[in-house]
Amino acid sequence: MSKNIVLLSDGTGNAAGKVWRTNVWRTFQSLDLKTSDQIAIYDDGVGTSSFKPLAILGGAFGYGLKRNVINLYKFLCRNYQDGDKIYAFGFSRGAFTVRIVVGLVLNQGLVKFANEGELDNKARAAYRAYRHDKYPVWNLQ
């Protein structure tokens, strides 16, 4: 049976732990995740590090974008099965983040893996190949 996979990525400086909840967080909270026909992941926006210098770099220059993209991509690689539907939502830089994830999937596909270490290596290789506009790395093995 197919399922819905929902990716949600928040904007710069927005995180689930903030007092003011964003619409992206509210959307995540409103999803019915009690059954196996729908799964979701919420991604804090760039610039949400508790270490102030990293938060400033994230807010100003997008530091942390690569990490967020790879985390969402790995979530898809772990959970996607043929027939599943993928939905991606984001706000501000979160919209940019999910746009990159969708482009990565369309360009490189989803990698197969035997363990988490292999998934991490292949996800990073797929991201690098996508950034440099190369052929799918999983096709070159």
CA 68/CA 131 separation, integer angstroms: 15
Segments making up each domain of the chain, as ranges? 4-105
Q: CA 62 to CA 114: how far, in whole Å?
A: 31
| Model confidence, pTM | 0.82
Q: Which residues of 37-67 are buried (b: 16+ CB within 10 A; e: fewer)?
A: eebbbbbbbbbbbeeeeebebbbeebbbbbe
Can you list the residues of the chain whose pLDDT is less than 50? 19, 140-141
| Tens of pLDDT, residues 75-115 | 999 999 999 999 999 988 889 999 999 999 999 999 999 99
User: What pLDDT is recorded for position 20?
Assistant: 62
Residue type, 126: A
Specify burial of residue 90 (Cβ count, 10 A radius: 0-12, 13-18, 19+).
buried
